[in-house]
Amino acid sequence: MVGPKDDFVFCALGGLGEIGMNAALYGYGPPAKREWILVDCGVSFAGDDLPGVDLILPDLKFLEGQKNRLKAIIITHAHEDHIGALIDLYPRLGTPPVYATSFAAGLFDIRRQNEHTGKKIKITTMKPGDRLELGPFDVEIVSVAHSIPESTALAIRTPLGTVVHTGDWKIDAQPVAGWSTDAKRLTEIGDEGVLALICDSTNVMREGESLSETDVAKGLIDVIGKANGRVAVTTFASNVARIRSVALAAKAVGREVIAVGRAMDRAIQVATECGYLEGVQEFRSSETYGYLPRDKVVALLTGSQGEPRAALARVAEDQHPDVTLAPGDTVIFSSRTIPGNEKAVGRIINGLVGQGVNVVTDRTALVHVSGHPRRGELKKMYEWVRPKTLIPAHGEPLHLDEHRRYALASGIPDVVMASNGDIVRLAPGEPGIVDEAPHGKLFKDGEVLAPAADPAIPERRKLAFAGIVSVAVALDSKGELVGDPAFAVSGIPQVDRAGRSFEDLIEEAVFSVLDTLPKNKRRDPDLVETAIEKAVRSTVNGSWGKKPVCHVQVVMI
């Protein structure tokens, strides 16, 4: 029964206007007492502009204030941008039930154990065709193809209507590992009537339809079969279909497969338990790499996005304890670079080429296909579901806007362009933005979750730009200097343009302050600290053009 004030809303706390950090809320009921489900809880990866930060998480403070009305968390698939924040944020959300497929649950549990997070999060497994009764929500699980096994779309039914949340998807009739997109079931849901389609926008700029993972398997056989020396293939560890394709290609040309990296080992373990690697040869450990003939090796490596601590980066820098490459060997990037990672990936590729290694990417050979839908696939989804409204999701602003244009040109009656935090009323009445929820980002800095406004990050940027000077001074009760001042300099050039030592210049500035300050003022440690700081920064700036961070400590003895 629909109450007089009930409405059905959608609100993304992450994932709109960006690729990653997916966290989508659906709410039902009167505005002051809405009940919620959270779809996905993912991370983004920090770039060079966030020194020291490992991951970026959605700030769920809006949901934390209503956690007693959170009916469930549903994970559409096991990619980190959809599940990676769950370990850290779940304790803030009470104890809502969590639903995920067997593969996602298995991969999550291994990661949780390896991170020694302590409290176990119970995950109830789900599969296509299941219906989850969650308060006012009836959520049906629908299979879709993607670049990781067991990806799902959701049909979210309420007394006010149905929404289809696609998650990440594509059309692949021969997916190698995992499920196909269930066009029949999506069409049947469309026949029932669909209020809105919340849909993946990642590949909306590309015409046609994605190639199949089976095509990649054939391409890998061709490239590996022609290679001389050792072959290394780098891809996402979670791309089990690609791992299987590499293993089958290696087997076809008489090579052994070496799994390198903990993430790769974890994915292979769970994929084997779920039956996705049946029929391929046993994966060998990295310790066996050096004992096999050079033309009998295919190494599977993590690090396709240029991650500095991943296996490929260590190999490229000749720092890996087991795996080395030599001129004439081949590295295959069986992946596409995520926007923002171009420089990091470019550095590794240039390093490999500089060592005489042959580098193969999807620009020169069929070694990768995307897990996201192109325009032709989006058109089919529209035809199956026939939504009244589309909300573009999972994309940067350019992708979302292009998705809007394409959807309207394809006959979708209405498109709502939303950003993170926008509360979109789906029903009753015309869909549109009606409110804004508090939202933002959290930075995972070591073991700490810091708000985006934390001053530590801009301070680190400043340190990287202009260095730091630390000065310690001891004064007696009369304001006289006790011993020599101590100071340390870091991140500042040794000499200025005239060849003068910056350490000497800083020392002169400190003594100048102490010599010119009257004794009565030297008895005030705060005043002395401020004076020395100003003098040091001014002196360095005058000779360098940059003002360093300056820390001064005055001790009264």
- Sketch the domain layout of the chain as residue ranges: 7-208+370-451, 213-360, 467-556
- HEC readout, 486-539: EEEEECCCCECCCCCEHHHHHHHHHHHHHHHCCHHHHCCHHHHHHHHHHHHHHH
Assign 196 to helix, strand or coil.
strand
Domain 7-208+370-451: state its class.
alpha beta
Closest by CA position to 17, among listed 317, 393, 453:
393
pLDDT at 340: 75
Residue 490 CA: distances (Å) to CA of 466, 469, 502, 512: 9, 7, 11, 22
CB 245 within 8 A of CB 344: no
Predicted confidence (pLDDT) per residue in 43-55, tens digit:
998 877 888 888 9
pLDDT for position 118? 54
Residue 377 has a pLDDT of 98
Give the SS3 label for residue 16: strand
Reported as a pLDDT band with limits 50, 70 and 90, residue 176 is confident
CA nearest neighbour of 82 among 344, 397, 425, 393: 393
What confidence score (pLDDT) does residue 117 get? 59
Percent of the chain beyond pLDDT 90?
A: 77
% of the chain surpassing 70 pLDDT: 99
Q: CB within 8 A of 89, min separation 6: which ones?
A: 41, 57, 58, 60
Detail the DSSP E strand segments found in 330-405: 330-333, 358-360, 389-393
What pLDDT does 263 receive?
Answer: 87
467-556 sits in which CATH class?
alpha beta
Task: Indicate the CATH number of 213-360 among 3.40.50.10710, 2.40.40.20, 3.30.70.2190, 3.40.190.10.
Answer: 3.40.50.10710
Whole-number average pLDDT of the chain? 93
Alpha helices, DSSP H only, in 253-296? 262-273
Tokens coding 92: 């803030």
Spatial contact of 11 and 27, defined as CB atoms under 8 Å apart: yes
Q: What pTM does this model have?
A: 0.90
pLDDT at residue 119 tops 80? no
Question: What average pLDDT does range 373-394 have in this prediction?
Answer: 98
Q: Give bridge partners of residue 196 from the DSSP assignment.
A: 163, 389
Q: Are 143 and 157 in contact (CB under 8 A)?
A: no
The DSSP result for 76-116, as a single string, is ----HHHHTTHHHHGGGG-S--EEE-HHHHHHHHHHHHHTT
User: Cβ atoms within 10 A of the Cβ of 540, count?
Assistant: 25
